[in-house]
Structure 1
Amino acid sequence: MSRIAEVIVLAQDADEVMEPLTRPDDTRPWRGSFSEMRPGGMWGFGWGAEFVQMRPRSGLLKHLESLAWPRPETLQVLIHDEEDDCFGLWMIHDGRLTEIPLPRTRRYWNRPHNEDFPPDPGILRRTDSGPLDRPEEIEGGDRSRPPAW
């Protein structure tokens, strides 16, 4: 299923950890690669990737949280799915990448898990920008990590 998403990884002192993720690797659970972002050319600590479908990004957060980050307290993963109003923020808490609730936002799920399709990543909506066009919600499921990630 086509659904474009941008992912930005910010982490200090993480060049060695991220370097293998800048090359394609068929052994990873997710498909794709990151590009280093160095706007000033001197002290960048960010990497970005774009995913054009949901299947290739499945397992990305689990893979990122399994890496040996030299300063895990600085790891921030920003994700913007094409249907989101803004980027969502994930940080490591208790050894796991967890979505950090942002003020005036809410994530909605409108599809249950279906074996025929990748898991629904949900939609992150701002609650302060006029009438809220909410998708119909479903009950249940772990809201701390969209399964598609």
Structure 2
Amino acid sequence: MKYRQLTKEQFENLHKEFALFLASQKIDVTEWNQIKKEQPNVAEEEMNLFSDVVWEDVMSKTNYVEHFSETTVNLFKCDAEEIHRIAIKVNWDINLLDQKGFEWLMKNPMDNSVDIFKGSKPYHLERNQEVFDLIEKGGGISKGEIFDYFSQLVG
């Protein structure tokens, strides 16, 4: 398995897609229920395979990832060959997880208490695997507005 199995909730939200996935393998609902009961390891393999297909699709379409903590923001732009990172640290008592703290940062990005670092590197692993790892560590997929805003500020 390349990624991780989808959660029960994710499977429930994708039940139509999973049914189509099984149908593409000539498995109907009756056969699926029989497989789950009589061959749980085969059912698990099918669920893992479907999970990998879903994650691969999502990761391929992900271009930006953001990770916020109380005093730091890590913004990532995931290109085909390399990943770009903007790291922001606020050096005073402000909570960036709070709407007021975030708004302060967006209005005062060049304040003396704000450190901004920018860098790029080629992927160490396969691109989608590294993007997935960022998400598993608490990052969220974004449209990139915040990355682009800070990228323009720091050149």
Of Structure 1 and Structure 2, the greater strand share is in 1
TM-score, normalised with respect to structure 1: 0.24
TM-score of the superposed pair, with normalisation by structure 2? 0.23
Greater gyration radius? 2
Q: Which has the higher helix share?
A: 2
